[in-house]
Amino acid sequence: MTTLTERFQSALSARLNGEPNAVDVVDAVLEAAQDAGASDVHLTPLESGLDMSWRIDGVLHSVAQIDANIAPNVIARLKVLAELLTYRTEVPQEGRIRNEVDSVEMRLSTFPTLYGEKAVIRLFVGSGRYRLLDDLGLGEIRHWLGQLLLEGGGVVLVCGPAGSGKTTTIYACLRELVDKTAGQRSLVSLEDPIEAAIPGVSQSQINPTAGFDYETGLKSLMRQDPEVILVGEIRDRVTAETVFQAALTGHLVLTTFHAGSAAEAICRLSDMGIEPYLLRSGLLGILAQRLARGLCDCSAESQDDVERLGLDVESFRVPVGCDRCRGTGYIGRVLLAEFLRTEPTELGRAILSRSDASELESLAIESGMVTHWQRALDAARAGKISPAEVRRVFGLTR
């Protein structure tokens, strides 16, 4: 069974012509991480060197330690590739690593810590596999979401915690629009940062230090004759208000938001100061999603109460581990999504009366919404994910 550490050592050995140098180490890190399907590489400075971990299917795995003698040069090499200032080690920096060979999008973020700069590289390895809505595993939600993308105005909100695939989904929506409209609609975006280039979309990246923030960018974009606007993320009240004003003036706005569920997203926007009438009139739909690790074919059936972890499932499967899944028992991701439309009359009245999240969710379920928690239980019963993975994603409080 080939471990992650062995993959990295093999990639490094293939590049060595003597003593390891920063160029060889960085090339080996990026090559082996892509080969393993990692979404993030964490390089954390310690007193003894640089600890390297990879995030695969949402979970961090420790891979290796890089010697203290070469550690600063490794970070510096990454900053050169991302076109960052190598002499500025006291402030955070962000940039893109341009890879012309295999077209894998990579983003570098550096941050000062006690023992030096920490670097996190995000690799969009799966962007080639999850390009369109049909590739995401949305089920019946795919049809509803596709219908909303044909609307002339309103907000389509994709929400979930960090690492839940929001950007992947919203980029797939943009590509869907590019394919369906064939250049007949003006598509623009305002992002922080631009994570992938999409032909057919005029993409812009905000630059707060230069005074180019979401508020300024959105107001300027409104004078660029757009029809569809992608806003990378709603982070504050001003951005949220501008997004909904744009939606009510005849623009289709796609955006993301950090919220645990579709109903919670409505309540959080209301708490931010967005008027209920704006939410009721401007929101077309909310897609809330989570990503769970799928079980490998080596999984085993179980009915053990301890392994059930309190879930309402009788028979289920648990991870075992084999060469294919690198001993983890998991391979790939399963999308758990819920889709809330604001059309139902009772739900609309509840939004206007500022009802709490539990009441909104109950009304949405009555109108046909399947919660992502229910989808998680169904996936566990079907043997696609384990009870332990359900608890890892949703926690122990449900």
Tens-place pLDDT, residues 296-324? 999 999 999 999 999 999 999 999 999 88
> What is the percent of the chain with per-residue pLDDT over 70, rounded to a whole number?
96
Q: What pLDDT is attached to residue 374? A: 96
Q: What is the pLDDT of residues 246-302, one digit of tens each?
A: 998 899 999 999 999 999 999 999 999 999 999 999 999 999 999 999 999 999 999
- Give residue limits of the domains in the chain: 4-125, 128-394
Q: What is the mean pLDDT of residues 226-247?
A: 93
Dmax (CA) of the chain: 71
CB 339 within 8 A of CB 372: no
Q: Show the tokens assigned to 238.
A: 């001003």
Q: What is the mean pLDDT of residues 355-372?
A: 94
Q: Show the tokens assigned to 22.
A: 């920063």
Q: How far apart are the first and last CA of the chain?
A: 36
Q: Which residues of 105-121 are buried (b: 16+ CB within 10 A; e: fewer)?
A: bbbbbbeeeeebbbbbb
> Taking the model in full, what pTM does it have?
0.88
Our CA dihedral for 371, 375, 378, 383, rounded to 10 degrees, sits at -160
Most confident of 194-198, 208-212, 375-379: 375-379
Q: What pLDDT is attached to residue 99? A: 67
Residue whose C-alpha is closest to residue 37's, from 99, 162, 129, 169: 129
Q: What is the pLDDT of residues 22-77, one digit of tens each?
A: 998 998 899 889 888 888 999 999 998 899 999 988 899 999 999 888 999 999 99
Instruction: Compute the distance between CA of residue 159 and CA of residue 233 in angstroms, rounded to an integer.
Output: 9
Q: What pLDDT is attached to residue 185? A: 92
Q: What pLDDT is attached to residue 323? A: 87
CB 45 within 8 A of CB 113: yes
Q: What is the mean pLDDT of residues 177-188?
A: 90
CB neighbours of 69 closer than 8 A, spacing ≥ 6?
A: none
Residue 18 scores a pLDDT above 70:
no
Q: What pLDDT is attached to residue 130? A: 60
Q: What is the mean pLDDT of residues 192-219?
A: 88
Q: What pLDDT is attached to residue 209? A: 81
CB 380 within 8 A of CB 289: no
pLDDT band at 100 (very low <50, low <70, confident <90, very high): low
Q: What pLDDT is attached to residue 93? A: 93
Which letter does DSSP use for residue 312 in this model? S
Amino acid at 114: L
pLDDT band at 197 (very low <50, low <70, confident <90, very high): confident
CATH code matching the domain that covers 128-394, chosen among 3.40.50.300, 3.40.50.2020, 3.40.50.10310, 3.40.430.10: 3.40.50.300
Q: What is the rounded average pLDDT for all residues in the chain? A: 90
CB neighbours of 214 closer than 8 A, spacing ≥ 6?
A: 190, 192, 206, 231, 232, 235, 236, 238, 239, 242
Q: What is the mean pLDDT of residues 350-372?
A: 94
Q: What pLDDT is attached to residue 164? A: 92
Tokens 């990503």 found at: 291
Looking at the domain covering 4-125, what would its CATH class be?
alpha beta
Instruction: Compute the distance between CA of residue 231 and CA of residue 385 in angstroms, rounded to an integer.
Output: 32
Task: Give the residue with greater pLDDT, 190 vs 195.
Answer: 190
pLDDT band at 398 (very low <50, low <70, confident <90, very high): confident
